[in-house]
Each structure stands twice: as C-alpha cells, then as structure tokens.
C-alpha cells in the first residue's frame, strides 16, 4: 500500500501542473496525421464489424480472431453483444470468418476477449489462450481447439495477482505463457492516474502452474508480445513509449533486455511473418483520436514491417496506412502465405493479397 499513498500524493502534486498534459499529448501523438499507403488487393472481411483486437494464424493457415472487446475507456460499435472467437481458413479461395462454438460450462455472456495466442503441443493438440475481461476483470482462458467440430473446449481459467491488467499473451507451453500488463493497477481511476503520471510501472509476467514471476518491468504501457521463430527472443510493444523491446529468454524463463527500437507511432500488437521472421506491427498513428472517438475525424490505421530487428540497422517499412476512411484503429496485422489480415480495436478487419 506504500505505492498507493505515494501515488495519491504524487497525483495531487502533479495534477496541479499542466506539464504532464503536454507530455501525454506527445505520448498519444495527438497531432500526427498519416499519409495513406494503399495495397491493391484488399477487402473488408464480412462478419467483423466491431473490432478484431487480435489475430493468430496457425502454420496450416487457420486464422483465429478475437472479436467484440469492450473497455470502459474505449468506444464500441457493439456494446450489447458478448465477444467471441472467429476462425477463417486462409487456404480457401474466398475465405469467410466463422464463429467458433464454445463448450458449455464457460460463461459466454461475460466473454470479453482481448489478446490471443496459440500453442501446438508435441501431440499436435492446438491450445488457444485468450485474455478475457469478464466484467472488466482479468483472466486468461485456455481452450483446446477441436477442428472437426469448429469448436473450443474450455479447459481452464487463470487468475493471478501478478496479472492485474493483462493486455496480450504469448503461449510457450500447454499451460505456460508470458503476459503483458498494460497497467500496474486494476482499478480504473488508478489506471488512469498511473498512465497520466507516466509511472512506467507496467511489466511482463511469466506464468506456469509451478511458478509465476515478473520477468521484465519499467514499461510505460506494455502491450503486444510475441516470440521469435527460433523461440530465443521475446518482443514487447510499449505502446505509449512508441518502442519495441527485444528481450532474450533465459533457461529459467527470465528475460534480459537486448535492445529497444524507437518508432514514431503507438505500437499495439506484434505478429511474426513465419516465412521471414519479420515483425508486423499494428499501430495507432494518433492515440488521441483512438480514445476520443469522433466519426468525422476517425482514428487512422498503420501497419509496419520490421526486418532484421537484431541487426544494427533494422529496416522499418510502412505496409499499409489509411486515415480512417477504410479502416479505423488498426491493432494487429498478421501474414500467411502472401495474405495479410489487419484487425482493429473496434472497427472492421481487412484482408489483403500481397
Ligand atoms: C493485439 O493486441 C491485443 C491487446 O491490445 C492483444 O490482446 C493481442 O494479443 C494482440 N495481438 C497479437 C497478434 O499479438
Ligand atoms: C530470475 O529468476 C529467478 C528464479 O526464477 C528469480 O529469483 C530472479 O529474481 C530472476 N532474476 C531477475 C533479474 O529477474
Ligand atoms: C481520408 O482520405 C480520403 C482520400 O484518401 C479523403 O477523401 C477523406 O476526406 C479523408 N478523411 C479524413 C477524415 O481526413
Ligand atoms: Ca497475441
Ligand atoms: Ca494490444
């Protein structure tokens, strides 16, 4: 509770100064506009009208989407509908998104899915990990994917005091994952204050049935997380610091920081191009427009590709950018076999042939 008292005192002192407000505008990149970068062969995906916060694609081309995320601080186009998990087979000529059935015994009415990650076990069982915010609480749900039945069998709900505000996860075993906490607190007011004050208290936690520990900390707002194809490195997006951190995985699952890549945009989800190891980043060029929704001046979208992140000079390319006329608030981009999927926080999803 020492931190709580310190925070209250700090809050009172600093709220009197306007300096943090200007800093926050800068962290949100509130004045940035995008130059559009179009891709020739794109269409909006049918059935996704209210966000596809996360996308994960299996090596066989089956893509999972988490849809219908609701946060108290975010606009929603579907306030009354619970979230769900959609699947799309990218091997099909005209792939369509289908909703997966979820086994009984799981509280679907409160399903509020956020980040997702898949793990394929040595016996080929596919596990889907889903960050869930039932009634704005924080859990990680583990499902087994049953492909023949197009369904998800719920196996386990994980709650832990070190997982107070989970944003994204990367599964590294059947019940093992790294998770980012995008806030230190779970209380909405304290969350707001901690972000406003730029405390850098957010972290990455390793979870396993035997051990749960903080493995990296000091992020402004840790967000997307992913792993390199050789499983040696963990990438973490710090959304409000406009950075991607490269961390090296140790045998005891601790992470050591290797490098930080600075970008000019709010980096949300990270995905890996399995063919090249490139990182694809769903970005918010202007965070202010994202949090204060104005249909006449909607949030824009931006997808970056980062090549050779471990090298001295990684190459950063803008793959797609749009002022919101087509796609608003891109949060993730994923590729499979020259097909690109772009998901958004609360808008639609785009399918492009590269
Ligand atoms: C995208 O970001 C959301 C939350 O901001 C996260 O839950 C999800 O896992 C991310 N997607 C990927 C591919 O990492
Ligand atoms: C690494 O992990 C060990 C045990 O798992 C823990 O005791 C230690 O504090 C960690 N070190 C760092 C630097 O996080
Ligand atoms: C976005 O760009 C399109 C043309 O590319 C333009 O017609 C439209 O007015 C722009 N919208 C905003 C909100 O700037
Ligand atoms: Ca994810
Ligand atoms: Ca995210």
pLDDT tens readout for residues 247-284: 999 999 999 999 999 998 888 889 999 889 999 999 98
For residues 225-253, give the mean pLDDT: 94
pLDDT of residue 74: 59
Bridge partners, residue 130, by sequence: 116, 141
Q: Place 301 in a pLDDT band, splitting at 50, 70 and 90.
A: very high
Between 43 and 31, the higher pLDDT residue:
43
Measured in Å, residue 58 CA sits from the centre of ligand 2 at 32
Is 43 one of the catalytic residues?
A: no
Place of tokens 């989970």: 166
Q: What topology is assigned to 32-353 in CATH?
A: Neuraminidase (2.120.10)
Q: Place 50 in a pLDDT band, splitting at 50, 70 and 90.
A: low
Distance CA 213, CA 211 (A): 7
For the ranges 55-69, 158-172, 301-315, the lowest mean pLDDT is seen at 55-69
Q: Is the pLDDT of residue 216 over 60?
A: yes
Given the residues 43, 75, 114, 176, the one annotated as active site: 114
Measured in Å, residue 135 CA sits from the centre of ligand 5 at 19
């Amino acid at each position: 509770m020492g931190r709580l008292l310190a925070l209250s005192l700090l809050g009172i002192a600093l709220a009197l100064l306007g300096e943090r407000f200007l800093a926050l505008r800068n962290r949100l990149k509130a004045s940035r506009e995008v130059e559009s970068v179009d891709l020739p062969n794109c269409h909006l995906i049918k059935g996704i009208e209210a966000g596809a916060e996360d996308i994960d694609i299996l090596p066989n081309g089956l893509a999972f989407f988490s849809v219908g995320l609701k946060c108290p601080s975010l606009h929603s186009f579907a306030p009354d509908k619970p979230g769900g998990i959609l699947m799309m087979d990218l091997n099909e000529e005209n792939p369509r998104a289908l909703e997966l059935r979820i086994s009984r015994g799981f509280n679907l009415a409160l399903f509020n899915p956020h980040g997702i990650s898949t793990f394929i076990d040595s016996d080929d069982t596919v596990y889907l990990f889903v960050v869930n915010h039932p009634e704005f609480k924080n859990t990680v749900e583990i499902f087994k994917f049953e492909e023949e039945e197009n369904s998800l069998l719920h196996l386990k709900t994980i709650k832990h005091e070190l997982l107070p505000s989970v944003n994204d996860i990367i599964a590294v075993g059947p019940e093992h994952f790294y998770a980012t906490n995008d806030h230190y607190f779970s209380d909405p007011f304290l969350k707001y204050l901690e972000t406003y004050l730029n405390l850098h208290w957010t972290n990455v936690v390793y979870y396993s049935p035997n051990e749960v520990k903080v493995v990296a900390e000091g992020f402004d707002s840790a967000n997307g997380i992913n792993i390199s194809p050789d499983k040696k490195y963990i990438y973490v997006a710090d959304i409000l610091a406009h950075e991607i951190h490269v961390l090296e995985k140790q045998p005891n699952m601790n992470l050591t920081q290797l490098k930080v890549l600075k970008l000019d945009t709010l980096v949300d989800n990270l995905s890996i191009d399995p063919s090249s190891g490139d990182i694809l980043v769903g970005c918010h060029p202007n965070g202010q427009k994202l949090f204060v929704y104005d249909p006449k001046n909607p949030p824009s979208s931006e997808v970056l590709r980062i090549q050779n992140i471990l090298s001295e000079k990684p190459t950063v390319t803008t793959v797609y950018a749009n002022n919101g006329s087509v796609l608003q608030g891109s949060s993730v981009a994923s590729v499979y076999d020259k097909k690109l999927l772009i998901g958004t926080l609360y808008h639609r999803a785009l399918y492009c042939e590269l």
